């Protein structure tokens, strides 16, 4: 029987989906919880991976190696770049994922892995550097804004830095997990879909945390879209 996998960075971004599951079986593997379940009668395996690239790659590799899903989905929140036109609570889909801070950081910006001749992956004689393509079905792309997503290790809190990333990569939003999952899926030849709800606009920030209501709004929007369109 074919089934799909769902990876979500944090429990805050998963509460609505988790409220919809039934017939669940939970497994603990290398410190990660995997939930085999039904969502609206469809078989899924869900994992809350934790924030960041390492957690994302770890969970994705475990998911693909142990459970072998025919499709992996990642959902969560993201910060939108100013030029994207996205607003808090919007949902966007990734056409590709980009490691936006892998390379050499100089005074005038980053030199990417292709500029350094350092491949991050090779699949079927295709060489990959910072950018990994994603699966983007028409029934998703016809409903919401699509574009390249940036994956960063540190969230951007300065408008000048945001403009630099936008100009360099042509991205519409940023997150901390997507490129690592896309990378592992490409190595495994598994299709991946990524959806993000917008929790904030990337701009100059101080040390204050993001508005929790906006985070919950973005998380709710993407979970509802996922349940309506993909389940």
Helices (H) and strands (E) in the chain, counts: 6, 14
- Convert the pLDDT of each residue in 147-175 to its tens digit: 999 999 999 999 999 999 999 999 999 99
β partners of residue 47: 7, 34
Contact 9, 50 (CB under 8 A): yes
> What stretch of H or E contains 56?
helix 53-62
Count CB neighbours of 198 within 10 A: 25
Q: What is the mean pLDDT of the chain?
A: 96
Q: How confident is the model at residue 87 (pLDDT cuts 50, 70, 90)?
A: very high
- Convert the pLDDT of each residue in 220-230 to its tens digit: 999 999 999 99
Would you give the distance in Å from CA 213 to the centre of its chain? 21
- Convert the pLDDT of each residue in 190-200 to its tens digit: 999 999 999 99
Model pLDDT, residue 80: 98
Distance CA 53, CA 184 (A): 11
> Structural domains in the chain?
4-229 (3.40.50.1580)
pTM: 0.96
**What's the token pair of residue 218?**
């973005």
Model pLDDT, residue 207: 75
Model pLDDT, residue 210: 84
Model pLDDT, residue 2: 72
Angle at 1 between CA 221 and CA 136, to 5 degrees: 40
**Mean pLDDT, residues 109-117:** 96
β partners of residue 37: 44
Model pLDDT, residue 109: 87
Distance CA 88, CA 186 (A): 30
Distance CA 158, CA 47 (A): 32
Percent helix, strand and coil across the chain, each to the nearest 5:
30, 40, 30
**What's the token pair of residue 169?**
């990569």
């Amino acid at each position: 029987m074919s089934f799909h996998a769902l990876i979500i960075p944090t429990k805050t971004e998963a509460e609505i989906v988790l409220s919809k599951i039934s017939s669940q079986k939970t497994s603990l593997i290398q410190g990660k919880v995997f939930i085999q379940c039904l969502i609206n009668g469809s078989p899924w395996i869900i994992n809350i991976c934790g924030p960041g690239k390492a957690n994302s790659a770890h969970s994705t590799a475990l998911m693909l190696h142990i459970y072998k899903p025919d499709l992996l989905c990642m959902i969560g929140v993201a910060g939108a770049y100013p030029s994207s036109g996205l607003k808090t609570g919007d949902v966007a889909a990734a056409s590709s994922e980009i490691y936006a801070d892998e390379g050499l950081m100089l005074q005038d910006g980053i030199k990417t892995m292709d500029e350094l001749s350092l491949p991050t992956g090779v699949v079927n004689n295709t060489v990959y550097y910072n950018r990994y393509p994603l699966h983007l079905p028409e029934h998703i792309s016809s409903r919401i804004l699509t574009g390249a997503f940036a994956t960063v290790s540190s969230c951007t809190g300065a408008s000048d830095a945001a403009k630099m990333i936008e100009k360099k990569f042509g991205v519409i939003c940023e997150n901390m997990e997507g490129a690592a999952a896309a990378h592992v899926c490409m190595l495994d030849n598994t299709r991946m879909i990524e959806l993000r709800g917008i929790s904030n606009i990337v701009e100059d920030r101080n040390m204050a945390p993001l508005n929790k209501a906006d985070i919950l709004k973005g998380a709710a929007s993407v979970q509802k879209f996922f349940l309506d369109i993909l389940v």
